[in-house]
Amino acid sequence: MTLRPKPRHALSTRVWHWINAAAFVVLFMSGLGISNAHRYLYWGDYGFDPADAWTAVMRFPNWATLPQRYNLAEARDWHSAGAWVFALALLGIWVAMLANRHFARDIAAPPSAWSPANLWREVTEHLKGRFDPEDGGRYNTLQKLTYGVVFGFLLPLMILTGLAISPGFEPAAPWIVEILGGRQSARSLHFIAAFALFAFLVVHLVMVLVSGPIRQIWAMIAGGRAPEGANA
């Protein structure tokens, strides 16, 4: 009896990938619409006067926002709907990754991987077009580090800061607002984390294009085949 090869991407990963992609697009575009209502960022608990802002962001064009016109109430509705999908999907993928050991096996990187020398070597290897892991695994070290930061820090930070700046949430869990340094600090961190994820998305798409878009996209749809020697 011939065993079917293990898929490169588990079904839970593939489902989460596309749900999260759609939710992020909705959240990012509606977030830009919300940002247009007040384009200044502050630190601490309060911030209304632009003179107290630590920075001002650009006014985003209508084609980049959701809805594609200035409507703060509708942008908030889109944002709230996308946030529920985003948060529940993140909870689901973390449960799946812990249950099937995907995070521990394929994403978690040893402490030595974080050394400046190793990081520089990984970056130079990528610049030379060498993306395949040397050990036959699913991800190389730079991918593990990047996905670790995204899953372990940026995505949870988006949820926490989003809750902290949600109207009426602070009385329910004031400690979240406190550990983030205040409601306006949470808003600033939310904005920074959103653009960090956007930068990750841009790099991710570039890497997909460089490494073979048809093969990569099909693998994220149908699962693909695990590399030779990879643990399943």
CB distance 42 to 53 below 8 Å: yes
Closest of 103, 108, 34 to residue 70, by C-alpha: 34
Total domains, the chain: 1
* pLDDT exceeds cutoff 80 at 138: no
Classify residue 116: in a domain, yes or no.
yes
| Region of residue 182 (left: phi > 0; alpha: psi -120 to 50; beta: else) | left
Classify residue 191: in a domain, yes or no.
yes
The separation between the first and the last C-alpha atoms of the chain, rounded to the nearest angstrom, is 19
Taking the C-alpha atoms of residue 162 and residue 117, their distance in angstroms, rounded to an integer, is 35
In tens, the pLDDT along 83-129 reads 999 999 999 999 999 999 888 888 888 888 888 888 888 888 777 76
CATH assignment at residue 178: 1.20.950.20
CA torsion sign for 212, 217, 220, 223 is negative
* pLDDT exceeds cutoff 90 at 77: yes
Reported as half-sphere exposure (CB side, CA atoms, 13 A), residue 219 has a value of 16
Instruction: Give me the pLDDT at residue 1, please.
Output: 41
* pLDDT exceeds cutoff 70 at 150: yes
Q: CA of 126: how far to CAs of 117, 153, 229, in Å?
A: 14, 23, 22
Higher pLDDT pick, 195 / 168: 195
Closest of 16, 21, 15, 3 to residue 226, by C-alpha: 3
Q: Which domain does 152 fall in, by range? A: 11-222
Classify residue 227: in a domain, yes or no.
no
Percent of the chain residues topping a pLDDT of 90 = 57
Classify residue 140: in a domain, yes or no.
yes
Q: Is 6 helix (H, G, I), strand (E, B) or coil?
A: coil
Taking the C-alpha atoms of residue 196 and residue 178, their distance in angstroms, rounded to an integer, is 23
Top-confidence range, 60-64, 101-105, 144-148, 225-229: 60-64
Classify residue 230: in a domain, yes or no.
no
Q: Residues 84, 88, 91, CA angle at the centre, nearest 5°?
A: 145
Classify residue 232: in a domain, yes or no.
no
Classify residue 205: in a domain, yes or no.
yes
CB distance 16 to 92 below 8 Å: yes
Classify residue 229: in a domain, yes or no.
no
* pLDDT exceeds cutoff 80 at 3: no
